[in-house]
């Protein structure tokens, strides 16, 4: 069943909202997508007619089983593309998130699988002592400095607590995300979501950034991002 880009955006946003809110309202969706509530209601009616959401006027919005399946598929595409753009190609957070939003609707299963194979290959090479990703970023820096004339490279108990306060090498379960909207969006893009297990591997000289492992990936979190991730000991 083909869906428009707008329909996929709505399903993905409903899913992401459900991860941090006990109930999802039309006003929540409107706020996150930056649209008017009547537009949300119209879209929900179409999605309901296709059996993808459960919604009654003035009631909560939930995904049906098929709707959740489609939402997870869209989110997986977005997350994979964001990681590729941000951590392999090294583009900025904003550009990676914006481009992933557009590309997620057009990427083929074959291309998505190839990107995931590339992630696995880079991780395997790193385990063998060859950090090809780091070498590529060093090459980008040298090229940028040559072209721009010395341009600076981009910076790379069981109570709930910010991940920033956690112990190194100890597994934690993510319970919620806080912080500003842009920070939450960036964390979700990276796959840092409630329910996942995360481990702090290394810290910067002054305590930040944090290098973490999650879902088999190694990610780097800035101070505001690490403070926004609320965890419990796993």
Q: pLDDT tens-digit profile of 164-176?
A: 999 999 999 999 9
What pTM, to 2 d.p., does this model score? Answer: 0.66
CATH number of the domain where residue 196 is located: 2.30.30.90
Q: How far apart are CA 152 and CA 138, in angstroms?
A: 12
Burial of 19 (0-12, 13-18, 19+ CB in 10 A): middle
The total of structural domains in the chain comes to 1
- In this prediction, residue 85 carries a pLDDT of 94
- In this prediction, residue 115 carries a pLDDT of 95
- In this prediction, residue 154 carries a pLDDT of 36
- In this prediction, residue 155 carries a pLDDT of 33
Domain assignment present for 170: yes
Q: How far apart are CA 146 and CA 132, in angstroms?
A: 21
Domain assignment present for 213: yes
In sequence order, the 6+-apart residues with CB closer than 8 A to the CB of 188 are: 16, 19, 177
- In this prediction, residue 170 carries a pLDDT of 93
Which residues in the chain show pLDDT less than 70? 1, 147-157
Domain assignment present for 211: yes
In sequence order, the 6+-apart residues with CB closer than 8 A to the CB of 97 are: 82, 185, 186, 189
Domain assignment present for 202: yes
- Residue 208 has a CB neighbour count (10 Å cut-off) of 16
Domain assignment present for 24: no
């Amino acid at each position: 069943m083909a869906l428009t880009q707008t329909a996929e955006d709505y399903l993905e946003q409903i899913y992401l909202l459900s991860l941090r809110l006990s109930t999802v309202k039309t006003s929540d969706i409107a706020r996150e997508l930056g649209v008017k509530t009547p537009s949300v209601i119209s879209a929900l009616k179409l999605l309901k007619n296709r059996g993808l959401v459960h919604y009654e006027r003035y009631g909560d919005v939930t995904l049906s089983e098929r709707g959740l399946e489609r939402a997870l598929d869209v989110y997986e595409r977005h997350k994979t593309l964001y990681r590729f753009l941000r951590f392999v190609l090294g583009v900025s957070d904003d550009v990676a998130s914006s481009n992933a939003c557009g590309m997620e609707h057009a990427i083929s299963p074959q291309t998505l699988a190839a990107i995931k194979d590339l992630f696995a290959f880079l991780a395997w090479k790193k385990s063998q002592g060859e950090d090809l990703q780091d070498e590529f970023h060093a090459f980008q820096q040298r090229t940028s400095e040559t072209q721009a004339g010395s341009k600076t490279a981009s910076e790379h108990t069981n109570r709930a607590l910010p991940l920033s306060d956690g112990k190194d090498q100890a597994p934690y379960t993510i319970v919620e995300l806080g912080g500003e909207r842009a920070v939450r969006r960036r964390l979700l893009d990276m796959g840092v979501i409630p329910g996942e297990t995360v481990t702090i591997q290394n810290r910067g000289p002054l305590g930040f950034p944090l290098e973490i492992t999650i879902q088999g990936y190694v990610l780097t979190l800035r101070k505001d991002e690490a403070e926004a991730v609320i965890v419990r000991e796993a």
